[in-house]
Amino acid sequence: MSNEKYVTYNEIVTQTIAWQNAISVTNSKAVELKKLTDQYDQVIFTGCGSTYYLSLAGAALFQTLTGKTVRAVPGSELLLNTSTVLNVGTRYLLIAVSRSGTTTETLKAIEKFKKKQCGEVIVISNYETSMSQQADLKIVIPEGQEQSVAQTRSFASMYVAVTALCAIASGKDELIKSMSSLPKTGNQLMTRYEPLAKELGANLSFDRFYFLGSGIHYGLACEVNLKMKEMTLTHSEPFHFLEFRHGPMSMVNNNAVIVGLVSEKDALNEVKVLNEMKAMGGKTFTLGEKGLEVNFNSEVSELVRGVLYLPVLQLMAYYRSLAKGLNPDKPKNLTGVVKLDL
């Protein structure tokens, strides 16, 4: 079966259209977003599964750019263990992320948050649903909609929207402007590195994958790890770079792939960790702005180019799924939307 017959493949390779849509939609609400975010010093991101990982990335970026106190929690924790998340009497800005806009835990968490009058809500989604209708401000990115179960295009589109939101909240207009070149760079990366992604993903001599990312990239490492799990049923785990040395590296052998989402800020220390893993027999695979195996060459600030880590690693998981005789469109035991009777 050719790649074009799998919706997952089509959604990966067309995702930059959704990136552009995300930039346009978010920028169109820049004045409202700046006014709303300026009112809060406490911010919470929430989501479930992929969008919880997006929340981790978004929270780290929002705090880095604005200096405000920001954290990410799963929708279920905000709903069921509210007292561990919210302080009585404190007002919060809640940024809720959901591909479908119908995920039970996130939907009910928003309802509870608003009923308790804890603050205002921004919803980021790919669909106009009851969740976005509950929002004080909504960012809906229709070009990110997808048919596949595993999030690829949708995740990337919402992450770009969150990145733009963070830049707007910081008041750094130059960051927003620089994001306009990301779709072109993303297309170039997929064209250049798809063969490499296929070669590594389809190599079934590897039986475990570790995705390393720190700071604003840790949430992205979690997400690409999830794609490997979902699509390929392969042992896969995410770690902060230096944390990987505190025990997990005992799993490194000739069958292990250690993927590094290398930053410019901490590249020296991150590459040292990867070199140690290589000396232990592991296969390393590095992505970043320059001097690595996958080079962005974007000339865009590290703060807003994080989406560039995604396409090549999504393709790697896609090709591994095919190599294992699996259907990337229909991961085992999963559905596109999680609805629970809570």
pLDDT digits (tens, 9 = 90+) for 230-267: 999 999 999 999 999 999 999 999 999 999 999 999 99
Please state the pTM of the whole predicted model.
0.96
- Contact between 185 and 301 under an 8 Å Cβ cutoff? The reply is no
Q: Which helix (H) or strand (E) holds 211?
A: strand 208-212
Of 143, 171, 199, which residue is a domain's last? Answer: 171
CA 320 to chain centre: 20
217 and 117 part of one domain: no
Residue 13 lies in a domain: yes
159 and 263 part of one domain: no
Beta bridge partners of 74: 47
Residue 335 lies in a domain: no
155 and 8 part of one domain: yes
Of 123, 138, 171, which residue is a domain's last? Answer: 171
Residues 6+ apart with CB under 8 A from 170: 65, 66
Residue 339 lies in a domain: no
163 and 275 part of one domain: no
- Contact between 120 and 93 under an 8 Å Cβ cutoff? The reply is yes
Residue 191 lies in a domain: yes
31 and 160 part of one domain: yes
17 and 164 part of one domain: yes
116 and 24 part of one domain: yes
- The stretches in the chain having pLDDT less than 50 are none
CATH code, domain carrying 108: 3.40.50.10490
- Domain of residue 72, residue span: 3-171
Residue 283 lies in a domain: yes
165 and 252 part of one domain: no
Residues 6+ apart with CB under 8 A from 122: 33, 36, 93, 94, 95, 96, 135, 136, 137, 138, 139, 165
73 and 210 part of one domain: no
Residue 14 lies in a domain: yes
Per-residue model confidence (pLDDT) at position 330 = 87
138 and 231 part of one domain: no
Residue 328 lies in a domain: no
How many separate domains does the chain show?
2
155 and 304 part of one domain: no
Residue range 82-109, pLDDT digits in tens: 999 999 999 999 999 999 988 899 999 9
Per-residue model confidence (pLDDT) at position 3 = 79
CA distances from 31 to 26, 28, 162, 165 (A): 10, 8, 15, 11
Per-residue model confidence (pLDDT) at position 331 = 78
Residue with tokens 């840790």: 218
Residue 333 lies in a domain: no
153 and 293 part of one domain: no
Of 149, 171, 193, which residue is a domain's last? Answer: 171
Per-residue model confidence (pLDDT) at position 157 = 98
Per-residue model confidence (pLDDT) at position 231 = 95
